Amino acid sequence: AQTVTQSQPEMSVQEAETVTLSCTYDTSESDYYLFWYKQPPSRQMILVIRQEAYKQQNATENRFSVNFQKAAKSFSLKISDSQLGDAAMYFCAYRSADRDDKIIFGKGTRLHILP
């Protein structure tokens, strides 16, 4: 069975600085999708960024980028120029390419932005 591990329950970063959230996963599959979801204090979960495992190029969305290391099964999220609105719980998630109806979440990392 696949698992997703986020080893940092909480992190803090100064506003305008860069922070990296780590995520590792375990799978025997070769084709899959990885996601970072953000859940602000208002609690609506929104997608931040996604990565297809067959793509070597790291995904980027504005200030958010990932470092995808397939061999190491690592999928970290980098947030550049951190803003107060980035404060949230961040969940790393995995979805199999073979089974398209379920995703597996990590336990989350709570990110605090210090003004």
Which residues bind to another protein, rule: CB under 8 A? Answer: 33, 35, 37, 42-47, 50, 89, 91, 95, 97, 100-103, 105-108, 110
Smallest gap from residue 45 Cβ to another protein (A):
4
Rounded distance between C-alpha atoms, residue 89 and residue 20, angstroms: 13
Q: Please identify which residue in the block is written with the tokens 């190029």.
A: 57
| Among 5, 42, 41, CA closest to 21 | 5
Report whether 18 contacts 12 (CB < 8 A).
no
Smallest gap from residue 71 Cβ to another protein (A):
22
Report whether 45 contacts 60 (CB < 8 A).
no
By beta-carbon proximity to another protein, the closer residue of 17 and 29 is: 29
Rounded distance between C-alpha atoms, residue 22 and residue 5, angstroms: 9
By beta-carbon proximity to another protein, the closer residue of 102 and 115 is: 102
By beta-carbon proximity to another protein, the closer residue of 11 and 103 is: 103
By beta-carbon proximity to another protein, the closer residue of 52 and 80 is: 52
Smallest gap from residue 80 Cβ to another protein (A):
23
